[in-house]
Amino acid sequence: MIRQAAWRLDRSYQWNYGHAPALPRVRRLPVGPGGRLFDHALNSPLGIASGPLLNSKWVEAYARLGYDILTYATVRSAYRPARSLPNIRCVENKELAAVVTRRLRPGVCPTLAVSLGEPSTEPDVWRKDVRRAKERIGPGQMLIVSVTGTPEPGRDAEALIADYARCAAWAVESGADAVELHLATPDPFTEKPQMIYENVLLAAQILYRVRTTVAPPVLVKLGVFRNPRALHETATKLAPWTNGFVLVHGVHRRVVDERGNPAFEGSGREYANVVGADIFPIASRQMEEMLAWRRAGAWDRALLAVGGISTVERAQYLLREGVDAALVGTAALFDPLLAIRFRQIRAAAVA
């Protein structure tokens, strides 16, 4: 583990965007155990989920450390700034809420509450930068670009669906090997608070439009479901039009400081996305359910595990269970050499 996280929590999103981390240099990477995702032969099935890799410099830095599935952070069809600081805080995931903490345990990947607001650079900027990212990864690696739609006041669902498809097409034109549709984002067309993936009809319409617009594989990124039945029904309805599922995006929770006050300043920030080590029990349980249904023949789609994969052992466990890839997020920021240890242990196990 490194003392200073690759992402500077005390700095703005824009500062972090412009300052790729000075990660340790490795003279020679251990040989990966191999892997395959869609038609891509990989050095290993370990990668990075959407979030940490803000631009091509971040992608290149982590590709050199042996992360072989690299997800370019979620982009939009229009510029959106990040929310004001603080927008990422270390927390303890307690029963009633996530509570801000300053007591980080040495050598242990933390849990974070993220309230960034899903920012994005202008399309002209990220489209050119995705091309650079594609050029900077090596053989046995692949680039996924995560996209989301941007709802506009007064516009209907058709406009949002078309916006998702537009972003996906731009991502493919820029060199993406696969596109991830970020559906774990608020549904703007319902009074009841819910995420787009929980509105199965809207999610299916978005997925259908994108899948019939672009040729490369299309993944859908999902969050936490209320119960196994809801997860199964959603996956079954989306399966005909997707190449794979990415889950869990994070846990949407109320976040408070030590005194019980909202941890993030500003309207609409009482709840945030909780990610990192503490959500592994929830995330792995959902993935285990997905794996069971796939084995039972419900559908045959790729499964990319995300959520709380903070150690090599957790990644190994999920891969033994049958996931196609294990993607880290918070761990990449606090333990960037995890991929090297993963390669060493997996290669030894295969040998």
pLDDT at 112: 96
pLDDT score recorded for residue 107: 62
Percent above pLDDT 70 for the chain: 96
Give the pLDDT confidence of 183-196 residue by residue, as tens digits: 999 999 988 889 99
Name residue 41's beta-bridge partners.
36
Give which of 109, 97, 90, 143 is closest to 262, Cα–Cα.
97
> Once rounded to an integer, what is the mean pLDDT over residues 44-69?
97
Task: Give the residue from 338, 335, 279, 277 showing the smallest Cα distance to 110.
Answer: 277
Tens of pLDDT, residue by residue over 276-302, are 999 999 999 999 999 999 999 999 999
User: What is the helix (H) or strand (E) element at residue 146, kind and residue range?
Assistant: strand 142-147
- Residue 236 corresponds to which tokens in the numbers above? 């079954």
Predicted pLDDT at 27 = 84
Please list, in sequence order, all residues whose beta carbon lies within 8 angstroms of the beta carbon of residue 10, skipping any fewer than 6 positions away: 85
Mean pLDDT confidence for 29-38: 94
Report the C-alpha gap between 287 and 341 in whole angstroms: 23
Mean pLDDT score, 78-90: 95
Burial class (CB in 10 A: 0-12, 13-18, 19+), 260: exposed
pLDDT at 242 over 90: yes
Q: Give the gyration radius of the chain's Cα atoms.
A: 19
Predicted local distance difference test score (pLDDT) of residue 25: 83
Rounded distance between C-alpha atoms, residue 146 and residue 77, angstroms: 12
For residue 350, the model assigns a pLDDT of 57
Helices (H) and strands (E) in the chain, counts: 10, 15
Question: What would the mean pLDDT of 232-250 be, rounded to a whole number?
Answer: 96
Position 2 scores a pLDDT of: 47
205-226 mean pLDDT: 97
From CA 133, how far away is CA 69, in angstroms rounded?
A: 12
**Is the pLDDT confidence value at 102 over 90?**
no
The pLDDT value recorded for residue 299 is: 94
Helix axes 56-63, 123-136, angle to 10 degrees: 20
Both structure tokens of 57: 């410099």
Separation between Cα atoms, residue 335 and residue 238, nearest integer Å: 34
Q: Please name the helix (run of DSSP H) or strand (run of DSSP E) that holds residue 126, with its range, or none.
A: helix 123-136
Question: Within 13 Å and on the Cβ side, how many CA atoms surround 115?
Answer: 25
pLDDT of residue 109: 81
**Which token pair is 337?**
């050499």
What residues does each domain of the chain span? 13-350
DSSP-derived 3-state class of residue 68: coil
Render pLDDT for 297-344 as a digit per residue (tens, 0 to 9).
999 999 999 999 999 999 999 999 999 999 999 999 999 999 999 999
Average pLDDT, the chain: 94
- Select from 3.20.20.70, 3.50.50.60, 3.30.420.10, 3.80.10.10 the CATH code of 13-350: 3.20.20.70
Between β-strands 251-256 and 218-221, what pairing exists: parallel, antiparallel or unpaired?
unpaired
Q: How far is CA 50 from CA 59, 70, 147, 261, 284, in A?
A: 11, 8, 10, 29, 18
Element (H, E) at 245: strand 244-247
